[in-house]
Amino acid sequence: MRQVTVTEHLLVHQKESPMATGRFTRLLNELILAAKIISREVNKAGLVNALGATGDVNVQGEQVQRLDEFANKVLIHRMERAGILCAMVSEENADVIPIPSQFAIGDYILVFDPLDGSSNIDVNVSIGTIFSIYRRRSGGGDPCVEDVLQRGTEQVAAGYFLYGSSTMLVYTTGRGVHGFTLDPSVGEFLLSHPDIEIPRMGKVYSVNEAYWPHWDEQTRAVVTALKDPDNAFGGASLRYIGSLVADFHRTLFYGGMFLYPKDYRNPKKPKGKLRLLCEAAPLAMVVEQAGGMATDGVRRILDIEPEELHDRVPLFIGSKRNVVLAQQILDQGT
Ligand code: AHG
Ligand code: MN
Ligand code: MN
Ligand code: MN
C-alpha cells in the first residue's frame, strides 16, 4: 500500500491553504525532527542513564526530570536555528525564550510542553510533547510577553507527539485533525489516522479522583454523575494514566471526558494544575477540530485571554455531549 509521509501531507495542505507557507512547513518539519530525537532518547532511556530527576525545581514548582531537561534542550536548540521563529515559550522556562541574534528571526511563536507526563517517565508509561504555534502580533523588534499572550483562537497549528507503544504525531492546522505513526524502520511519520473525529459521547471519564476532598460541591456532582449508570453519561468507566497527552489521546479516539478541575482548597492549585498556553489551549484546538469541546467549566478554553505565561486553568475536555453535560451540572451551582 502507498503510504503518505507527514512531509507529503504537509505539502499537499500547503497548496490547499492560502495561509500556509513553505516556512510554516519548514517549522513543522524541524519540530518533527526534534520529536524524533526525543522519541529515540525516550525509547532507550532505561539503558543510558537518562532516567531520574536533575535535582532542579522548575518555574512550576515541580522536580525537573532528566528527560524533561533533555527534551527542552533539544527543542530549543533545533527550533532557535530554524530561522522561522521570533520567540518560544516552554513549560520549563520562566520567561519568553528569545531567538539569539546570530540566527534568522521569523514571524512565528512556538509554545511547548517539552515532556508531558513527567511522573510516568521512570516507569515506562506513555509520555509526550505538546505544541502550539502562533504568529507574532507586533511588527519588528524583540518580541515581548504581550506578543505571546494570545488567545487559543489565534493558534495557527497545534498538536502533540505521543511516545507510547508507538510514537505518534497528531496535529491540526485548523482543517481537521490528522494522526501519523512513526515507522522506526524508515524513520518517517506515516499517515495512519486521517480526519480524526471524536465520538459525540463516550463512556470513559478520566480524572485524578484522589483530589475529591479538595473539590467544590459542583465538581463532585459532575464526578458523581459520571459514575451514575442512570445518568445520561451512562455507567462510565474510569481511566487515568496521569500523562495528559496520553489521557487526551485515548479520549480523542474512544470519546468521553478528561477533567482536571480547580482545587480550591489547595492554595497551590486554585485553578487546577494544567497550563493554559502549553497544555490546555493546544489540546482544545485539536479537540474542537475533531468535533469535541473544551472548557474551564465556564468559558471555552480557546476564548480565554492569558494574563501570564504560566497561567493555569481548570480543564474539561472531550466529547461534546459529555462536556456539555458537565457544564450543565457546574452551571447549577452558579
Ligand atoms: P508535566 O509532566 O508536563 O508537568 O505535566 C503533568 C501533568 C499532566 O501530564 C497530567 O495530566 C497531570 O500532570 C497529572 O497530575 P496529577 O499527578 O496531579 O494527577
Ligand atoms: Mn512539569
Ligand atoms: Mn504537561
Ligand atoms: Mn512537561
* Separation CA 130–CA 275 (nearest Å): 11
Amino acid identity, residue 69? E
Q: Please, what are the domains in the chain?
A: 6-193 (3.30.540.10), 204-331 (3.40.190.80)
Hey, how many other C-beta atoms are within 10 angstroms of the C-beta on 14?
17
Whether the CB-CB separation of 222 and 326 falls below 8 Å is answered with yes
* Separation CA 77–CA 259 (nearest Å): 33
* Nearest ligand to the C-alpha atom of residue 118: 1
Sequence-ordered list of residues with C-beta below 8 angstroms from that of 92, at least 6 positions apart, any chain = 58, 59, 64, 68, 69, 72, 114
Sequence-ordered list of residues with C-beta below 8 angstroms from that of 55, at least 6 positions apart, any chain = 64
Tell whether ligand 1 has an atom less than 6 A from the beta carbon of residue 92.
no
Residue 273 host element (H or E): none
Q: Give the pLDDT confidence score for residue 269 in this predicted structure.
A: 73
Tell whether ligand 1 has an atom less than 6 A from the beta carbon of residue 116.
yes
* Residue written as grid cell 503518505: 4
22 CA from centroid of ligand 2 (Å): 33
* Nearest ligand to the C-alpha atom of residue 62: 2
Torsional sign, CA 112, 116, 118, 123: negative
Instruction: Please list all protein residues whose beta carbon sits less than 5 angstroms from ligand 3, which is an ion.
Output: 113, 116
Check the annotation: does 91 bind a ligand.
yes
Q: Is 24 left (phi over 0), alpha (psi -120 to 50) or beta?
A: alpha
Burial label, 15 (beta-carbon count in 10 A; 0-12, 13-18, 19+): exposed
Q: Give the pLDDT confidence score for residue 270 in this predicted structure.
A: 82
Tell whether ligand 1 has an atom less than 6 A from the beta carbon of residue 113.
yes
| pTM listed for this prediction | 0.96
* Separation CA 280–CA 311 (nearest Å): 10
Return the ligand 1 atom nearest residue 120 CA. Answer: 2
* Separation CA 182–CA 287 (nearest Å): 22
- Extract the residue ranges of the chain whose pLDDT is less than 50: none
Return the ligand 1 atom nearest residue 258 CA. Answer: 11
Tell whether ligand 1 has an atom less than 6 A from the beta carbon of residue 278.
no
Q: Give the pLDDT confidence score for residue 334 in this predicted structure.
A: 63
HSE at residue 208, side-chain half, CA atoms within 13 A, is 18
Residue to probe by mutation, ligand 1, list 59, 244, 316, most atoms within 8 Å of CB: 244
Tell whether ligand 1 has an atom less than 6 A from the beta carbon of residue 118.
yes
CA-nearest of 283, 298, 209, 297 to 251 is 283
Check the annotation: does 311 bind a ligand.
no
Q: Give the pLDDT confidence score for residue 236 in this predicted structure.
A: 77
